[in-house]
Amino acid sequence: MERAVRELLIAVGENPDRPGLADTPGRVARMYAELFHGLHADAHEHLNKYFEEDYDEIVCLRNIPFHSICEHHLMPFVGQAHVAYLPDKRVVGVSKLARVIETMAHRPQVQERLTKQIADLLDEELKARGVAVMMEATHTCMTIRGVHKPGTIMVTSAIRGLFRSNLASRAEVMSLLKGPTSAS
C-alpha cells in the first residue's frame, strides 16, 4: 500500500521524499486499513446475541452517524442511518444496530447496496416481521468534484416484510424513520 501511495504522489507530480510527504504513504496505508476494516469483519456477529422478549411494536433507532467510501472514486460519503424492525420475539441491544452499520459501511460501497445489505442482514438474523432501513448521505464524489453540488443529500431505503406488504405499517415506520420535521 505504501508503495502504491508513493507511486500515486509521483504520478500527480509530487516529490514523495520532501519533508511534508515523507511519512504520507504510511499514514495513508493506516488510514485505509481503518476505513476498510469492515472487509475483514463479520457483521453477523453483532446480531448473534439477542433477547427473547414479548414485544410486538416497532423498534426504531435514528440518526446513527456513518461514513463510507464510494467504490467508484474512493471518496467518502457521510450521513445518518435510520433502522427499524418489528420483532417476532427477538430483540437486540441498540448498540448492535449501530455496530452493524459501522461494519457494513467500512468497505468500498455504494449507498444503495449498503442500505440493502443492512436490511437483509437484520431481516435474516432477527427473523423480524418487518425491517426498514433509510440512509441519508452527502457524497463528496459529487460535492467537491464532478458536478460540484454541495448540500445535496442522497436518500435510500430498503423495506422488508410487513413494512413492505402492509401500507399502514409502511406509513407508520416511515414516519418514525423520518422523525419530526422542523415544523414540529
Catalytic residues: 70-73, 111, 139, 141
User: Cell 495513508 identifies what position?
Assistant: 28
DSSP 54: -
User: Cell 461494519 identifies what position?
Assistant: 103
Q: How far apart are CA 38 and CA 101, in angstroms?
A: 10
b/e burial code for range 23-56 (CB count within 10 A of at least 16 → b): ebbeebeeeeeebeebeeeebeebbeebeeeeee
